[in-house]
Amino acid sequence: MMPATNGDDPALHGEPPATALLRLATGYQASQALFVAARLGLADRLADGPRSVDDLAAATGAHAPSLRRLLRALAAFGVFREVEDGRFALAPLGEHLRSGAPGRMRALVLMYGDQDFWRTWGELEHCVRTGESAAKHLFGVDDHMARYAADPRLGPVFNAGMTALTTSTASAVVAACDLSRVGRVVDVGGGQGRLIAALLGANARLRATLFDLPSVVEGAAHLLDDAGVADRCEVVGGDMFAAVPADGDVYVLSRVIHDWDDARATAILGNCRRAMNDGARLVLVERVLPDRTEFAPSVQPLVLSDLNMLVRTGGRERTAAEFRSLLATAELRLERIIPTDGLVSLIEALPR
């Protein structure tokens, strides 16, 4: 068999192999450039139109010649745009970097570019060699959520990033999740309430319980009030490894199970099963890995998220078969998997 030419290999994008590999090897450079732009609030400062580099440098306390280099670099990626007189303006991607933009991508950029994420990803080789998470290796902790809750700097960065991540997928979940005949939803590990607010907003007769660590849900009241659903949502602080609220018709866990290894994931699911009556159902909002991985841009975020779980939490993304087996250990039966328009799917399960 003849070796494939560059044009035959979709992973090369028509590039020579060395160029394609170099693009992968230097991806972190663009990531950090984007992070610094978010830290400096450049998108917000350009919201009203183009500004000079000197003006932006004075506003941010940056070194003007170096700031110009950052802006030019991100202009090449479509974040900013260099106009004829040397000023810079927002490009389409940059519009989404504004702090008030839909999806709040700035909070996600600040989370993924944070030094804590950066440091743990630097230990990927250790994780691959040993199976130990970088958080365990560096900080000696098994419970990453407790670490976030105890860190006054990282905790707010993480909570804001997770709220933004939920915002980016909430509409896809709402569109795929039929709650028209449901009385009460219990959102287990629901963070500060972005998803449950969207579900309540789409279902006027629905009531809900938002359940997460006390340090997390203390930030939920403002979000729920702004969404106009606070009167239909009970907020409960607690530990899902101990117990979860009872009397829900549907239990939703959005990107919770992927944070944990099989033993601890089973413990969470088992507590949900014990809280469920026989007519209740459980809905996991998770990425679902393909049974066999091939080159596909749509799969790349899924497998990178799996590595992120290895590094950050000791958890994992799972295939459909792995979800089926995991649910069975908690006396739950996988009923169906519903794709959404986003990267996540709805994994519905019923009591066995």
Residues classed as catalytic: 258
Phi, psi of 114 (to 5 degrees): -60, 150
Q: Find how far residue 292's CA is from the centre of its chain.
A: 23
Please, which residues have CB within 8 angstroms of residue 326's CB and are 6 or more apart in sequence?
257, 262, 265, 266, 269, 318
**Distance, CA of 321 to CA of 305 (rounded, Å):** 18
Cα pseudo-dihedral 160, 165, 166, 167, rounded to 10: 90
**Distance, CA of 251 to CA of 349 (rounded, Å):** 10
Residue (of 155, 154, 164, 145) closest to 107 by Cα position: 164
**Distance, CA of 190 to CA of 185 (rounded, Å):** 11
The interaxial angle of helices 154-176 and 105-112, nearest 10 deg, is: 130
Q: In angstroms, how far is the first alpha carbon of the chain from the final one?
A: 51
Which residue is associated with the tokens 């469920």? 276
Q: Tokens standing for 337?
A: 């998997």
**Distance, CA of 214 to CA of 50 (rounded, Å):** 43
- The answer to whether the Cα torsion of 97, 98, 102, 106 is positive or negative is positive
